[in-house]
A and B are shown apart, each in its own frame.
Chain A
Amino acid sequence: MALTTTVPLLISQQFDSEVVLANYQNGVYYNLDGSAAQIWLGLKLNRTVEEIGRALAAATDGDVTSITQQVQAFVDSMLAEGLIANGAADARSEAPIETWTPMLSGAFVAPEFQRFDNLRELLLMDPVHDAGEEGWPLRENQEKLQEN
């Protein structure tokens, strides 16, 4: 099953080697740094777990098998958290695979994300924010009036 970083109501922004993800549905923010950010960026370019594992191992002189296992575990945790989804993959970059090089140096450090949910309660209580993008259904009697 392909993976996609395009998830409804999830906003992503890259700052140098860091990625911030904001879940507009539940008010939870995530910070991805180091190998975690590189894995997310690799998925965004539609690289497979194996491709990302090999690229990270090459960038850090690490063991491909061990790193690929850690990448898979991290991908599973992102799936569970709703930061990526199964489904139609993001458009694969036209660039050849060799040109995607993770921005990492030094020894490989296990990926993890920071989770910020201190705003969650505040946002969920807020009476203004949750105007859903569900259109503007006219009331039935209004639609009849318009037809006459």
Chain B
Amino acid sequence: MKASDLIRREIAGVFARTASEPIEAQARCGPFALRLSFASQDLARMFLPAYVQRAGDSVDLDLRFITAADHDLSALVPEASEKPRLLIEDGIYSVWQPAIIPVLYAIDLVARRGIAWLPKGEAPPWIRSRPAISLIHALMHETPWCAVHAAAIGSTAGFTLLAGEGHSGKTTAALACVKAGWRYAGDDFVAVNSATGAIEPLFCSARLRPALVDAFGDLIGDTTPVSDFNGELRHELSLANLGERIGGGKLRALFIPRRRGATSPEFTPAKQSDAFRALLPTTAYELPGWPNRIAEKVARIAGLAPVFFADTGTRPAEIPAAFADQLQRL
């Protein structure tokens, strides 16, 4: 039996064994409508806060979160299980991420059914903040949509993508704009249509470093968990209470945050290739499979709007007005 046939059979088995799971919800994830099912309250508590919960009639993906205690899928764990694996074969896309806390993702792209299987019943914090993103990536493959590593916020002047590596200031700028009343599409990964420039949120999560707590403490709820992975602390925020302000819009500009010592925000024109280099690395490395297709989409996105380097300065409160002014000039 081919591995893809085995995975397809096991996915069907998960859905056949129980008509429904104890916790169900509907969510929007980029352009897709998801029906989410969780085998336990613990799993729902772990993942549901990251999703933009919206009711809808259609379902693009039926996605179940399960553990080894719910379904024995050990037959799917590949030989040499300490190695990460990717399978794209006959309508099946599957990723095995062993690491310290293993996770198996698999999707039957024809049946539009997916599973996130947690053998140890838990998941690393970065997976909780963007659950099953690789399956959304697989759903996007035949479309112009692409999940890109960027923050995205919008005002009446349009949306801007903030693209750059970790610690470049994406989260600071995005949350400063959220506090000023802007719309929010994400601080880590967002969905962008590479043909039209439409932006949609994938998740309503944000990961806050302790150094940012003073500036954005009011976004931290009483029950916001703090993750500690290898000593790296993060407040795992859910911004679901922003309600309709969680949403997307049309890309108007690409900002590449970088620190160059300015106190107030400053903008410098940049090139399409700069945006490509800022967007591609983490996008491609976090989304297994089809690297050339990802690069093509990201290159197109980088050419959809003017690009600027943005030194966001030392006073986050000044960022929204500076961003709005820059967007209005375009």
Give A contacts to B, CB under 8 Å. 9, 11, 13, 15-16, 18, 20, 22, 24, 27, 29, 31, 116, 118-119, 122-123, 126-140, 142-143, 145-146
Do B80 and A11 have beta carbons less than 8 Å apart? no
Partner-contacting stretch, out of B43-51, B198-206, B242-250, B286-294: B286-294
Chain A residues, CB < 8 A from B87? 135-136
Q: Mark B1-30, 1 if CB is under 8 A from A, else 0.
A: 101101100000000000000000000000
Residue with the highest number of chain A CB atoms closer than 10 Å, among B80, B281, B288, B303: B281
Given A11-B291, A132-B83, are A127 and B97 neighbors across the interface (CB < 8 Å)? yes
Interface presence of B207 (CB below 8 A) = no
Our pick among A24, A122, A130 for the contact of B84 (Cβ within 8 Å) is A130
Interface presence of B122 (CB below 8 A) = no
Chain A residues, CB < 8 A from B6? 138, 142, 146
Minimum CB–CB distance from B138 to chain A (whole Å) comes to 12
Instruction: Give the A-B pair count, Cβ closer than 8 A.
Output: 116
Do A131 and B95 have beta carbons less than 8 Å apart? yes
Q: Assign chain B's interface to a size class.
A: 35 or more
Our pick among A16, A127, A131 for the contact of B86 (Cβ within 8 Å) is A131
Nearest chain A residue, comparing its CB with the CB of B294: A11
Given A15-B271, A20-B276, are A131 and B288 neighbors across the interface (CB < 8 Å)? yes
Minimum CB–CB distance from B252 to chain A (whole Å) comes to 20
Interface presence of B96 (CB below 8 A) = yes
Chain A residues, CB < 8 A from B165? 118-119, 122
Do A138 and B273 have beta carbons less than 8 Å apart? no
Do B272 and A15 have beta carbons less than 8 Å apart? yes
Minimum CB–CB distance from B277 to chain A (whole Å) comes to 6
Do A29 and B79 have beta carbons less than 8 Å apart? no
Interface presence of B209 (CB below 8 A) = no
Chain B residues, CB < 8 A from A123? 281-282, 285
Minimum CB–CB distance from B99 to chain A (whole Å) comes to 4
Chain B residues, CB < 8 A from A130? 84, 285
Our pick among B97, B166, B271, B299 for the contact of A13 (Cβ within 8 Å) is B299
Q: How far is the CA of A131 from the CA of B87 in the complex (A)?
A: 9
Do B285 and A128 have beta carbons less than 8 Å apart? yes
Interface presence of B284 (CB below 8 A) = yes
Chain B residues, CB < 8 A from A27? 281, 285
Our pick among A13, A16, A24, A135 for the contact of B3 (Cβ within 8 Å) is A135
Do A136 and B85 have beta carbons less than 8 Å apart? yes
Interface residues of B in 71-114 (CB under 8 A from A): 75, 77-80, 83-89, 94-97, 99-100
Do A129 and B288 have beta carbons less than 8 Å apart? yes
Closest 6 CB pairs of A and B: A129-B285, A136-B3, A131-B84, A131-B86, A136-B87, A137-B79
Our pick among B79, B295, B299 for the contact of A138 (Cβ within 8 Å) is B79
Chain B residues, CB < 8 A from A146? 1, 6
Do B273 and A31 have beta carbons less than 8 Å apart? yes
Interface presence of B210 (CB below 8 A) = no
Chain A residues, CB < 8 A from B302? 15
Interface presence of B146 (CB below 8 A) = no
Our pick among B75, B86, B126 for the contact of A133 (Cβ within 8 Å) is B86
Given A22-B284, A139-B79, are A29 and B85 neighbors across the interface (CB < 8 Å)? no
Chain A residues, CB < 8 A from B289? 131, 133
Minimum CB–CB distance from A100 to chain B (whole Å) comes to 22
